Amino acid sequence: MPARRRFPPRVASLLASARMLAVRAGTGDHRFTGIWFVVVHGRLLVRPWNDKASGWRRAFLDEPRGTILLGEREIAVRARIVRGERVFDTMDRAYAEKYATPASRKWVRGFHLPRRRRTTMELTPR
């Protein structure tokens, strides 16, 4: 099995300090959408709040290539589905730690629901 691709140190540092990420799924007309994300053990993990047919996750399922916007920098990524309760649990804890304000609690609890956990994806550099 080939080694998992990692983001360069400069990008990893920017990800570690960012609260939001803009993602554009596919190579077509899909727009950038602001999302919450976490980095767990060097892995960029994301979950959609709504798994709509027109949303970014479904677009990634159709075409796993896309782009993230980090500050002014566009970075080509590839999405892959993530499975595993241990990863889901670790991600839930990371969301709770990163988004710890009282206003964020509702959303953090929502990301913990089974239907949202099943939509977890990892974004890796292309």
pLDDT digits (tens, 9 = 90+) for 85-125: 999 999 999 999 999 999 999 999 999 999 999 999 999 99
pLDDT of 3 above 90: no
pLDDT digits (tens, 9 = 90+) for 48-57: 999 999 899 9
The amino acid present at 6, given as its one-letter code, is: R
pLDDT-above-70 percentage for the chain: 95
Homologous superfamily of 9-121 in CATH? Electron Transport, Fmn-binding Protein; Chain A (2.30.110.10)
Q: Using alpha carbons only, what angle is made at residue 42 by residues 65 and 46, rounded to the nearest 5 degrees?
A: 50
Q: Where are the domains of the chain?
A: 9-121
HSE, side-chain direction, 13 A CA sphere, residue 46: 29
